[in-house]
Amino acid sequence: MHLFWGRPFKGIVTALLFSSLTCAIDWDISDEQSLKDAASTSTYAMMKYYYGNETGQIPGAFPDKWWEGSALFLALLEYWHSTGDTTYNEELSIGLQWQSGDDGDYMPSNYSSYLGNDDQMFWGLAAMTAVEYAFPDRSSGFSWLSLAQGVFNTQIKRWDTSSCGGGLRWQIWPYQDGYGMKNSISNGGLFQLSARLARYTGDAIYLTWANKIWDWSVSSPLLSNTTWNVADSTNVDNDCATQGNAQWTYNYGTYLMGAAYMYNYTNGTTQSQWLTAVNGLLNATFDNFFITGGIIEDYYCEPAANCNDNEILFKGLTSAWLGLTALLVPSTFDSIIAKLQTSGAAAAASCTGHNNGTCGVRWYKSTYDGWIGMEEEISATNVFTANLINFNKTAPVTSTTGGNSTSNPTAGEDDSDAESAKTTTITTGDKAGAGILTAVFLAGWIGLMAFMVLGG
């Protein structure tokens, strides 16, 4: 996952490009239709930024921020599942398939030279969500389950025992900035994917890896199973002796989500272990991030108004995972829905921008804060659809409770290019791909936009 160009400039350009998005959002927590309407409004707004369904465009592609396609499709899956509205299902189905790559592991050739493990992982989670919501497989191409399995199979091959006793590095390729780090979202994401595959398929390999990743995480500086602190990263240069302790909602959320799936799938003494983990991580999430008025907030960037595109998405992803946790671990339902309701109401109150329902970032202000973009709309959609669990308490399906996606346990095994250990000669083209977000790119992009806005 990478950093992107500045939000204030983007906001100016976007406001000029999109003069009408949606109607203002009304919010009545006791009225299911009101929540569906709110989700419909923000979903329509976020899809204004998607061009993959237009002639000459590439389905599912966001060239300078490829992973965000998965965040968009995750939100669409939650929207369809929660509301029953099929308006965007074809775009969702085509895009989710199109970006799967030749080997069915979300390593498409156009982007694979500069991906992080977390980038690929999020596409795997999107495919896994399609599986658990029984979103229909396409008649050709890869099944959603095989795509999730393909991501799992390629990522476990990158489990790195050369330093820190194990763990995934943040980046896949040695020439990437961040290759020397092992971080929570990559390892917690693979833990979550493994736990979900274990619950869905019942296959022992996924359960084994979920336990392995969890055990390594708590032995590293990334995750404490006493204080339940989740650090952002640790460094291989000192054999993971220290931590980068930046606090982000989605780092907590991804470990919480995996623990919830493990609780739901296991039983006996192991289930007790996972309930302890769920409660510990959930309480830490509440304490750390539901600050002003009990509203979710990524406080490392929101008060200073310097969140980048990635960071705006974090609390939306976490909101969706909280909703699933409430369904998988019923004892958490009441406390989670209370937080989601408060945050959802505040998010709706932020969606009053530009007289067309544009949503902001700092929901705790309960008014529009001047921000604008696809990421804002995705996060709003996530918290709106998460609130709909109050009207539908059905847990995600498994292969024995309604799931019908075709399994392929060896998916992705033939993709030798997906293994970072097999990297040999790094070409100038590879380096250019990895450096897509450099100052040269940024300056060129700003110049192009300035030409479009001021003189084009």
303: confidence class by pLDDT, cuts 50, 70, 90: very high
pLDDT in tens, 215-236: 999 999 999 999 999 999 999 9
Rounded to two decimals, the pTM is: 0.89
Q: Answer whether residue 18 shows pLDDT above 60.
A: no
pLDDT score recorded for residue 439: 38
* Buried residues in 172-185 as b, exposed as e (16+ CB within 10 A): bbebbebbebbbbb
To which residue do tokens 């290759």 refer? 179
Cβ count near 58 (within 10 Å)? 16
Mean pLDDT of the 428-448 span: 37
**Does the pLDDT at position 452 exceed 70?**
no
What is the arithmetic mean of pLDDT over 162-189?
Answer: 97
Question: Domain residue spans in the chain?
Answer: 23-403+416-424, 425-456
pLDDT mean over 206-219? 98
pLDDT at 164 over 70: yes
Beta-sheet strands, E only, within 236-389: 243-244
At residue 414 the predicted structure's pLDDT band, cuts being 50, 70 and 90, is confident
Ranking 3-17, 40-54, 70-84, 439-453 by mean pLDDT, the lowest is 439-453
The pLDDT confidence band at residue 454, using thresholds 50, 70 and 90, is: very low
The Cα 398–Cα 131 span in angstroms is: 8
Amino acid 270: pLDDT: 86
For residue 67 the two structure tokens come to 């992973």
List the CATH code of the domain at 23-403+416-424: 1.50.10.20
Per-residue pLDDT of 24-62, as tens digits, reads 688 999 999 999 999 999 999 999 999 999 999 999 999
Are residues 375 and 358 in contact, defined by beta-carbon separation less than 8 angstroms? no
Q: How far is it, in rounded angstroms, from Cα 129 to Cα 335?
A: 24
- At residue 161, the 3 state secondary structure works out as coil
- Taking CA atoms, 388 is separated from 88, 169, 260, 310, 350, in Å, by 19, 36, 19, 25, 19
